[in-house]
Structure 1
Amino acid sequence: MAYQPHETAVPKPAVSLTSSGARELRLDLFRGLALWLIFIDHVSPDLLAWFTIRSYGFSDAAEIFIFISGYTAALVHGRAMLEAGFVIATARILRRVWQIYAAHVLLFAFLVAEVSYIAISLNRPFYAEEMTITDFLNQPGIAMVQALLLRYRPLNMDVLPLYIVLMAGLPLVLPMIRLAANVTLAISVALYAVTLRYDLHLTTYPNGFWSFNPFAWQLLFVLGAWCALGGARRLARFLSSPITLSVSFLYLLAAFFVTLTWYFPQLKYLIPHQLELWIYPIDKTDLDVLRLGHFLALAIIAIRFVPAGWPGLQSRWLWPMILCGQNSLEIFCLGVALSFTGYFILTEISAGLVLHVLAGLCGISIMSAAAWVLSWYKAYVDKRSMRGRCTRP
């Protein structure tokens, strides 16, 4: 009997490339989760934040949002670059950049109007100080120009300017990944390292720096694009390793213990002084290495326990979160606007935990309802467009 070698099991890609027209629902699910967490962190940073990941580790929802944004952008526009060419794909990317920019300007106008009305008409000037719009009230002309240049923005409006800059660089990143994917990722890592070493940054008006340094946060965006265009497939064996999973769990456990010392100072003596000097400060602005490692550990565990084709993706209970992820730009803007409204109401009535939870649930319900309406409208427009094509002679 002839010898037949045993077949070696090849692990499936951690995050698979979808066929044209299909959606990777896991990306929508986790981006929707990130939008919900961002809203909760903003509407009730003191109480409801205990229900978000930032209270149990080094990273938060921002890392999830930026990584998935890089992944989905590369997946959509990378395919367009292959099918329609560089010029058409670049035009589509720039159109998306314009949409994000327009959404940012509209959100800025709405938020400034809302806070200004409360601060002036209701005689609550401390809200203007908290939301950092005092400079706008003092010099509206200059502040508006600086806002259009992305150098001035109220509190909680830092993600969209970062997203705009990263998307604007995508026409350069996509061809580089197609030509030399690993070299592109290495260049991104090098820029991140240089940023940490030499403090590269962008300034804001009237003083200070970008809360999300694009020179550092570009690493997560490029990493997402790299994974979308083949990187995840190349890492499949590594990500499926039990050792990788164990190390990820241990890192999350260590991070959880460190965060406990922030809320229970009596535990601080358990952390060696030299270790404290090494890990602090854990800087969000420049995407500290510990934050990056924490996000990667979360991602490794997430793709292990939520594999492709996971039945829960069809659950009616998760569908609102998925719909929010599928309409991320609109829902993000709505969440920021709702978060200040909720924060103002909760502050004025000195609400307790029950009302904070109720406000969080109401905001998430409004976001989910808006996402459903947007999805219904898009499906309706697509259906009408399809009918129009079929009836043409």
Structure 2
Amino acid sequence: MIAPAAMVATWNPEMNGERENRIDLLRGLSLLLIFIGHAEFTFSPTFQQSRGFSDASEVFVLLAGMSCALAYYRPYASLQLERPWKRALRLYFVHLILFAIMMTISAFVIGTFDQTAWPADMTDFWLDPLHHGLQALSLSYMPGNLDILPMYVVLLLIAPFAFLLHDRSKSALLGLSCLIWFVAGLGHINFPNAALEGEAWFFDPLSWQFIFVIGIYLGARMKCGQSVLSYNGPVFAAAAVFAIAAIPLNLAFHLGAVDSPFGELHHQLVSKINDGPLRIINVLAILYLAWNIRAVKATADHPAMRLVCAAGRHSLAVFSAGILLSFGAVVLMTLDPGMPIALQLLLLAIGCALQLAIGWMLEVRRTARVGAASYGLRRAI
């Protein structure tokens, strides 16, 4: 298909190699917040509910969609399978490595300390390791916190088709994605996961693809040099009111201080499995505010935030480290249920520091490679 002249004129191919620091900053912060939730400190549940109806997961998936478009989208190109699918394959192998490490640690803890209180999704694996191991290869046995990368595998597999439909009709892409999200949520359509009590993925890809596709739409606009989330006074005010009001409201609902006006429907509206509508509205409001508050841009570009931005830039390695570190924290919390808050905060600080250090080391290595390549090019010229 021949690209329209208007699209050719606005496409910014250099955006392929650029980084939007706000994306890196928000991704880096999200990784640290995800670690706090996964570590299962005594304060983790309340902390998770103190940021509104959505949490770091929505922010991360939305930004992942934007980053996916910035990295792989080519306006009006043919079906682009190779790069997104290679990335998906890499995530799959990283997931299997994390699974193997966590199962090995769980075997050691169960065998050494005889932890009958160990989470069921860990102990059940060793009741039939061969069967569950084969299930793990097919992504149908994933203990808690291990179905996040598989969700990204699915999202990256559908990304090329989202690009293709995007170039034919943006409305059709968003409409179809919304329809799939609605039907999957209403019908509780999900992939099987034998490790969890509900026997389904904790992050249903059929539901979470909607926020990812919204990210693809926004990222494609950025890739083509078009405005993204432009400032509008009434929209900004509405986003601010919603995002701010959601914090005390959700916390009050969580603590049981007040009853939700939605009654039994409330669970569906804030469902994390199906990425309920209140969660989606909340994360879109947060992103809109972040994109239109100058202080956020200034903070993202400030040298003091380099560590956090580096973590967001190398999200796979930092996320994987965070999974293992949070699992280590869970092990320690299991062995010492009465661990003092001060010690929990120390573990939190150490975990965050290690993730930031990993991101920084990878960024230094990347910068060195880029510098060496530039030097070689100058020598060749």
Query: By the TM > 0.5 criterion, same fold?
Result: yes
Partner of 1:36: 32
| Code of the aligned partner of 1:363 | G
CA distance in 2, matches of 1:333, 1:306: 32
- 1:28-83 Cα distance to aligned partner (Å, 9 max, x none): 1101111000001111343145455x32321111101111111100111014x66x
Q: Does the 8 Å contact 1:28/1:322 carry over to 2?
A: yes
Q: 1:118 to 1:229 in 2, by over 3 A?
A: same
Residue 156 of structure 1 deviates from its aligned partner by 1.0
Q: What's the counterpart of residue 27 of structure 1?
A: 23
TM score, norm. by length of structure 2: 0.87
Please tell me whether the aligned partners of residues 40 and 49 of structure 1 are also in contact (alpha carbons under 8 angstroms).
Answer: no
Give, in angstroms, the shift of residue 239 of structure 1.
Answer: 4.7
Following superposition, the deviation at residue 166 of structure 1 comes to 0.5
Q: 1:323 aligns with which of 300, 304, 310?
A: 310
* CA distance, structure 1, for counterparts of residue 243 and residue 60 of structure 2: 19
| SS of equivalent to 1:126 | coil
Distance 2:118 2:212 in 1: 33
Cα 1:141/1:347, change in 2 over 3 Å: closer
Q: Quick check: 1:97 aligned with 2:88?
A: yes
CA distance in 2, matches of 1:201, 1:348: 34
Residue 121 in structure 1 maps to residue 112 in structure 2: yes
Letter in 2 for 1:124: Q
After superposition, the Cα gap between the structure-2 partners of 1:20 and 1:263, relative to the gap in structure 1 and judged at 3 Å, is closer
Contact 1:32 1:325 in 2 (8 A): yes
Backbone CA RMSD of aligned residues: 2.6
Match for 2:321 among 334, 344, 355? Answer: 334
Number of the residue aligned with 1:299 = 287
Structure 1 residues 103-142: aligned runs within 5 Å: 103-129=94-120, 132-142=121-131
Q: Which amino acid aligns with 1:321?
A: V
Give me the whole-angstrom Cα distance separating, in 2, the residues matched to 1:99 and 1:193.
30
Letter in structure 1 aligned against 2:129:
P
1:286 is the counterpart of 2:274: yes
Q: Residue 155 of structure 1 aligns with which residue?
A: 144
Q: Distance in 1 between matches of 2:81 and 2:377?
A: 26
Deviations 1:149-199 (A, max 9, x none): 111112111211100000011111111112212221111111112223333
CA shift for structure 1 position 17: 9.5
Aligned partners of 1:146 and 1:152 also within 8 Å: yes
1:352 matched residue in structure 2: 340
1:220 aligns with 2:211: yes
Q: How many Å separate the matches in 2 of 1:20 and 1:228?
A: 11
Q: Which has the larger radius of gyration?
A: 1
Residues paired across the two proteins, number: 365
Distance 1:152 1:215 in 2: 18
Match of 1:268 in 2: 258
CA separation of 1:126/1:247 partners in 2, compared to 1, >3 Å: closer, same or farther?
same
Partner SS state of residue 280, structure 1: helix
* Residues 70 and 223 in structure 1, CA contact (< 8 A), matched pair in contact too: yes
Structure 1 runs of 4+ with >6 Å offset: 231-235
Aligned-pair CA distance for 1:307: 6.8
Percent of aligned pairs with the same amino acid: 25
Q: Which runs of 5+ in 1 are unaligned?
A: 1-15
The 1:252–1:17 alpha-carbon spacing in structure 2 relative to 1, beyond 3 Å, is: farther
Matched, 1:166 2:155: yes
- 1: CA distance, partners of 2:78 / 2:92: 22
Q: Is the Cα–Cα contact under 8 Å of residues 43 and 342 in structure 1 kept in the other structure?
A: yes
**What secondary structure sits across from 1:153 in the alignment?**
coil
Contact kept in structure 2, 1:346 and 1:355, CA below 8 Å: no
User: Retained in 2: the 8 A contact 1:331–1:371?
Assistant: yes
Question: Comparing 362-371 with 372-381, which one deviates more in the overlay?
Answer: 372-381
Match of 1:56 in 2: 51
Correspondence list, 1:176-195, <5 A: 176-195=165-184
2:3 counterpart residue number: none
* Shift in alpha-carbon separation, 1:223–1:391, aligned structure 2, 3 A: same
1:76 partner letter: A
TM-score by length of 1: 0.85
Matched with 1:365 is: 353
The code of the aligned residue for 1:55 comes to S
* Aligned: 1:377 with 2:369: no
Whichever residue aligns with residue 37 of structure 1, its letter is L
Letter in 2 for 1:43: A
SS at structure 1 position matched to 2:304: coil
- 1:323-356 Cα offsets, whole Å, 9 max, x none, are 1101101111100100111232244343222222
Aligned counterparts, 1:4-23, within 5 A: 19-23=15-19
Query: Could you tell me how far 1:135 is from its partner in structure 2?
Result: 2.7
My pick for the range that moved more, 245-254 or 140-149, is 245-254
Deviates more, 1:115-124 or 1:100-109: 115-124
- Specify the SS of the correspondent of 1:169: helix
